[in-house]
Chains A and B, each alone.
Chain A
Amino acid sequence: MSAIAHRLERAGIATVVIGLVKLHLEKINPPRALWVPFELGRPMGPPNDAEFQRDVLRAALSLLHLTRQADSDSGVLVDFPHEDPNSVDDPQWRPPAEHTSAQAFTSVSVECAALAAEKSAAVQRYGRDPVGVAGLTIDQAAAFFDAVCAVVSDDPLPASPREDLSSNLALRFVADDLKAYYLQAAAAVGKPSSRQLHNWLWRETRLGQSLKSLRRQFLDGNDDKRTSLGNKFMVPRAFVD
């Protein structure tokens, strides 16, 4: 994005970047940048905290009023001084009821069904549903995922549930939707940090275990496309065993 900022500025559009990786801002040197000490994926900080988000945006837009020193080769880089208040764990938060162990569920389909009430409550609470990139119902997505998990070694994946997508690509989108479904359900109550939500997903759920298991299977196989899928597009680096 800093490279885009350079190009837009040359085209006469004033730019300011709200950046999460200070090293990249320093190296690429966009015209104006506000470094924010938030986690990747959250340039504006905490969800549902309008006052804090306005402070971030106000700080960024204020850089548009600065005058650069003559003969300066450097862009303007300012640090936002406040931490994300949602980066702290919510001590009152608990995972969805009944979800004490991944062993309680025989399949992701069954586990999804057990989360349906919390998922519905979360959608009502936040006024939005983050599930949908796969273009399937969650039952269809979970059924396809369970069928993939039943595949042995390099045997063919089940037919894609969408005619316009390969099975590999459908699997990537299905995995994204299942993760979104679970994480939204787990956020139905309280103010869990992303750390609490991800720790639960990757360590306590059948979905998390299955994704890690699929990753290992794909990496051990001889199908290059599946190897790439497993290596890059399924499990965050922080949760690779």
Chain B
Amino acid sequence: MSEERYEKIRSIVASVYKVPLDTVSMDKSLNEIGKDSLDAVSLVFALEDEFQVSLPDECMDPTRSLRELAERVESLRAGAPPAATSGDS
């Protein structure tokens, strides 16, 4: 994934969780960034909106690292079949 895309994801995370950008490391899990489940769903919304993808529920596993989440977003963008969701088009 391009550096730019990682940076974009970091800045979205920082903005949703309202934490300083420099505390958002791609190796951290969502749990380590913030414990609020509402922040987690807000992050899904923001990522789906930005990258025009539909993220399946298991992406939001709060124990996974941001890097794993970013790679999932990237593969969905690249056209890998998403897991079954009830998204609209």
Tell whether A and B belong to one assembly: no
A interface residues, Cβ below 8 angstroms from B = none
